[in-house]
Amino acid sequence: MSALIEVRDIGKSYGNILALRGVNATVNAGEVTCVLGDNGAGKSTFIKILAGFHQQTSGQYLVEGQPVKFVSPRDALDKGIATVYQDLAMIPLMSIWRNFFMGAELTKGSKPFRRLDVSQAKKTVVEEMSKMGIDIRDPEQPVGTLSGGERQSVAIARAVYFGAKVLILDEPTSALGVKQSGVVLKYIVEARNRGLGVIFITHNPQHAYPVGDRFVILNRGQGLGNFAKGEITIDELSQLMAGGAELKELQAELEQAIAATGVNDRAAP
């Protein structure tokens, strides 16, 4: 069986700027592929290619074994590749259920909504959210009253309901505290358990490692590998992300700086 997504040696230039090079990645159904890298590493550029906002300038992009070249996000969505952005496309004062169905016109084929049956729509939202482990008592509640983690979960549930095969999440935990991040990580696992291929973008190896099956590491636009979980430890992952040699240098400099301050010189007890 082919992978849902396979990316081979992809590169992207913006004019003279080479933003991405040598990126390889695999996304399988029922797995989480994490894309890791520091700020500016090229993570957003990479997923914008997967999501159809940009085209690669080199390399191959295959969906279920077929080479694709998307010219718009609509093309990607038609192949079941849905993206949840950090600044969610939601209207805070609008109800949860209206936000949930707002994207409906963007989907094709899966579950057409010929007539908007309001009570059915509300019931569906409550059911779908409950499948994700969230208890929505009042679907009329404005989406803006939900926590950041819960809003992410509405967006995830919506993508799942409208038939996404691949769910791309761009830094869903970066603006959240520890507890809310935990909530989002739980939905990532939930979506994976329901058979989706999840692409989870983060700069935090602590968030990635527990939920990830595969790890794609970017450093300054360069792909540094596509590892299965058994092939890499969390420490190796962090080192690669930061660029191993640079990190060692930084560590040595820090140690020198700390030694110079004398803060670690303690008198014997």
Is residue 42 part of the contact set for ligand ADP (CB under 6 A)? yes
Q: How far is residue 18's CA from residue 11's CA, in Å, rounded to a whole number? A: 8
Is residue 55 part of the contact set for ligand ADP (CB under 6 A)? no
The residue whose two tokens read 């990607």 is: 76
* Residue with smaller CB distance to ligand ADP, 14 or 120: 14
Q: How far is residue 154's CA from residue 141's CA, in Å, rounded to a whole number? A: 13
* Residue with smaller CB distance to ligand ADP, 44 or 180: 44
Contact present, 33 and 214 (Cβ < 8 Å): yes
For the CB of residue 45, give the shortest distance to ligand ADP in the complex, in Å: 3
Is residue 144 part of the contact set for ligand ADP (CB under 6 A)? no
Is residue 65 part of the contact set for ligand ADP (CB under 6 A)? no
Which of 26, 33, 45, 180 is close enough to bind ligand ADP by CB under 6 A?
45
The residue whose two tokens read 């110079």 is: 260
Q: How far is residue 225's CA from residue 36's CA, in Å, rounded to a whole number? A: 11
45 binds, options ligand ADP, Mg ion, none, Cβ within 5 to 8 A by partner type? ligand ADP
Nearest Cα to 60, choosing from 25, 27, 34? 25
Q: N- to C-terminal Cα distance for the chain?
A: 65
What is the tally of helices (H) and strands (E) in the chain? 9, 10
* Residue with smaller CB distance to ligand ADP, 2 or 72: 72
Is residue 40 part of the contact set for ligand ADP (CB under 6 A)? yes
* Residue with smaller CB distance to Mg ion, 44 or 95: 44
The residue whose two tokens read 């952005």 is: 85
Nearest Cα to 101, choosing from 87, 90, 86? 90
The footprint of ligand ADP on residues 72-131 (CB under 6 A) is: none
Q: Give the contact letters, 168-207, x = binds to ligand ADP (CB under 6 A), - = no.
A: ----------------------------------------
* Residue with smaller CB distance to Mg ion, 41 or 237: 41
**From the CB of residue 242, how many other CB atoms can be counted at a distance below 10 Å?**
17
Which chain residues interact with ligand ADP by CB under 6 A?
14, 17, 19, 37, 39-45
